[in-house]
Structure 1
């Protein structure tokens, strides 16, 4: 294996795992920045989906009690997302993936920049089941179209005054489920050949260890600190996504 491929593989695995463990999303946004430089897009996406699901399962276990007490809330997001995945795949025949990613990146930058600059964060306290379902469906569409399933749910959950464990109890299983379906579709399409499986075997331990480091940091954050973190992460993720698409 060429040294540059090995180093990029391990750096992407470490950064993606750390961010997923810390915030509950963002594996693809950070890992692909390294992997797309040294491997074909289909192979890079195939690997990052596996890393996202593997590291995400650790986060699901972390907030398992919050998930069990908020099953209906999670269902409002997740159930509409599942039919959104094939809609997103079909949308690629109408709107190109790069165009969609640039649009979402600009929106993430505006959202993250606006709320990061505010001294007081929004607090939408009343129940909004219709909006929750709509955000979930659109998250599924974006997951199928551009592997960005977590963008809209993260923005929406950051505006709710939920404890950090409840926010993560929506985001983490939502992303794991949507990306798990994507992984199965890629497997059915023959994406996981011997070469790709070998790279997964090297990247997976690094991702899992890095996710544990991110989880350890997450445990030290207060609820407001976590909300500000994911809003700031929206800005950083939007910048990373935009730079990657434009270059």
Structure 2
């Protein structure tokens, strides 16, 4: 059995699953579990694993569609807390930001931008985790729809540049001191809309082909199992536990962007 095109066609002993499939399934499972539990970070975690083994051009469609499927499949966990009037500024700002991000990507160095976002995530997560360890309560931020739209716009730009639109809304929700269901009811639907727009962009750009479809089909069992277990974990953890998971994922995501 061969590996994916563009990768070394290696077969494991006794005709077992090739290493490329093992990496794909393991990376998607870990990322899906984290996303099911926290509501974001699938792309960042999966990319941090898969890009060391598989070409980004082949994995990009899997990351975008996989993230979209997970977010849609786990949206029921936060559906009762969703409020369109709260979501609207984020989504409208994000849709305006995506084409700007695509233009920025064409005329700038995406690695430098990713490193800047990584530094922001590491700094914020480290600061907040330290405050948690010292048992200090951070003051909740008060901001209106205009500021929410600005966060959505900046997140749309990041989505167009590197496919990680969920980082800033996650930090913003944490700064506002929102409950876990309130926070997920903002950044999870936002990620759904942004990833749907990104999927259309990849389709228009010709990135979806037979090979990417095969990779997506292979990864589906890991995506479904990981997301299902993640949602079960989300329903069992406390608000403090959820925030600890969220901040830890932000920290790991930031580190993955830096290295």
1:12 and 1:79, CA in 2 relative to 1: closer, same or farther beyond 3 A? same
- Counting only pairs closer than 5 Å after superposition, residues 144-183 of structure 1 correspond to structure 2 as 144-183=160-199
Determine the structure 2 residue equivalent to 1:105.
118
Unaligned 5+ segments in structure 1 are none
Matched, 1:141 2:154: no
CA distance in 1, matches of 2:177, 2:119: 25
1:120 and 1:76, CA in 2 relative to 1: closer, same or farther beyond 3 A? farther
Equivalent residue in structure 2 for 1:52, among 67, 78, 82: 67
CA distance in 2, matches of 1:93, 1:127: 33
Q: RMSD value over aligned CA atoms?
A: 1.4
Equivalent residue in structure 2 for 1:218, among 231, 234, 252: 234
CA distance in 1, matches of 2:47, 2:205: 20
CA distance in 2, matches of 1:211, 1:133: 29
Unaligned 5+ segments in structure 2 are 4-17
Residues 107-146 of structure 1, C-alpha deviation per residue, up to 9 Å, x if partnerless?
1111110110002242426342221111111000000011
Name the larger-Rg structure.
Answer: 2
Matched, 1:236 2:249: no
Equivalent residue in structure 2 for 1:14, among 26, 29, 33: 29
Using the size of structure 1 for normalisation, the TM-score is 0.93
Q: Would you say the 8 A contact 1:101–1:146 is kept in 2?
A: yes
Using the size of structure 2 for normalisation, the TM-score is 0.89
Q: Which runs of 4+ in 1 moved over 3 A?
A: none
- SS of the counterpart of 1:215? helix
- SS of the counterpart of 1:158? helix
Q: How many residues align?
A: 241
1:222 and 1:185, CA in 2 relative to 1: closer, same or farther beyond 3 A? same
